[in-house]
Chains A and B, each alone.
Chain A
Amino acid sequence: MTHSIDRRQFLKLAGLGGAVLVSGWRSSDGIAAADSDFYFVQLSDCHWGFEGPAQNPDATGTLKKAVAAVNSLKEPPDFIIFTGDLTHTTEDGQERRKRMTEFRDIVKDLKVKDVKFMPGEHDASLDHGKAFKEFFGETHYTFDHKGVHFIAVDNVSDPRASIGDEQLAWLKADLERQPRDARIVVFTHRPLFDLYPQWDWATTDGAKAIEVLQTRDNVTVFYGHIHQEHHFKTGKIEHHAAKGLMFALPAPGSTPKRTPVAWDPQVPYKGLGFREIEAEARPVKYDITELPVVKA
């Protein structure tokens, strides 16, 4: 895909030499567009605690390698987000907290300290997000960064994979405070649209969220859950699924069951990875660069 480091370097240089050129660009919220280009990193589906040598014989090493890979990026991202399934599910609440403690200890080694977390169903569906909140805070929230309004939507704390009316009302109220042309990025764990409901790759009331999001012109969704890159458009909203960091899953409907893809000893860590996302203001777009856990 794109060579984002080069691109970022170019933008940086262009910014240095083009202050006058871009001084007339102002977004509707008054933030200079020249200040608005940045990039962040998305990691997803780490499943810390998973055991399955046939799917990942380096189950305790992959996340650490991903942390090292992020730390080795030439230019640090503005922030990092984990889009759910930080840990692999367990019915034992004590074990769940142990896994979250271990996960938190590993990601503490990230050099970038602005790290945001979201739950996946493995983290939150068995206790409605209780343990997750103890460790990582709220399961849905917003923040603003360099002219982009970010919204983390929780579609996993309800074991029925529902966002729920209360959170939908919160989402609607938040969007109503944004200008119609605001740059909005939504993070979720599950897809908001019916990607493949036969494998539970959907959100029960995701259509309601999409209906609300459609009221704004520049909305892009980044999510996880399906352990593979996937790109889809509903109306004017783009939805981008990320790879996982424990095991890959087959393409939707390509096999009878949603069985994890077997580890390929010839190509270790195949199908795993993370991504950097470069947010550009004019025109509004997000350049995605997929990165491997380990460089070939």
Chain B
Amino acid sequence: MAALKRRALLGGIAAAALAGVGGGFALRAYAAERVIPVKARRFTYEPDEIVLKLNEPVILEFTSADVVMGFRAADFNVRTDIFPGKSSRVRLVPDKVGTFTFHCDIFCGDGHEDMDGTIRVER
């Protein structure tokens, strides 16, 4: 039981470090945030539509099924590399309502230019 708690705590610290946040309060807030897994593969994201609630921060957790790719949501100033075999996490705060495009920003193959999706932010 103690070991489990310790692992959970370490996991939280690692997650907080990935998100660039520090301090006990931020750590607790981060741990409560919803994690949305997104799988990238040439040349799609799954899901390719991410529905979020206004002002509800989320963690997007990416994995790649094949090659190195990127994720960029320019409207939220969020981007990350996506690597095969390991996860990449970014924190996104949906601070405006609407539908916004995200795309792969690492030229990854002949279907690269079609590799995109949308973030839909609702009230």
Which residues of A approach B to under 8 Å, CB–CB? 89-91, 121, 125-126, 159-161, 197-200, 204, 256-258
Contact = CB atoms under 8 A, between A and B. Distances in A.
Interface in B14-54: none
B96 interface: no
Q: Which 7 A-B pairs have the closest CB atoms?
A: A125-B107, A197-B74, A159-B107, A198-B74, A198-B101, A89-B110, A159-B106
Secondary structure of the B side of the interface?
Answer: mixed
Interface residues of B, number: 18
Given A198-B101, A200-B103, A126 B75 contact: no
A82 to B, nearest CB: 19
A258 B72 CA distance: 15
A18 to B, nearest CB: 51
A160 B106 CA distance: 5
B107 A258 contact: no
B109 A161 contact: no
Output the residue of A160, A161, A198 with the most chain B CB within 10 A: A198
B116 A257 contact: yes
B107 A198 contact: no
A89 B113 CA distance: 10
Given A89-B107, A198-B101, 4 more contacts: A89-B109, A159-B106, A159-B107, A256-B101
Contacts of A159: 106-108
B113 A258 contact: yes
Given A160-B70, A198-B74, A91 B103 contact: no
B105 A91 contact: no
Contact of B105 (A89, A90, A126, A160): A160
Contacts of B112: 89
30 contacts: A89-B107, A89-B110, A89-B112, A91-B110, A121-B107, A125-B107, A126-B107, A126-B109, A160-B70, A160-B105, A160-B106, A160-B107, A161-B105, A161-B107, A197-B72, A197-B74, A198-B74, A198-B100, A198-B101, A199-B101, A200-B72, A200-B103, A200-B105, A200-B113, A256-B99, A256-B101, A256-B118, A257-B101, A257-B116, A258-B113
Contacts of A198: 74-75, 100-101, 103
A35 to B, nearest CB: 42
Contacts of B107: 89, 121, 125-126, 159-161
Contact of B103 (A89, A199, A256): A199
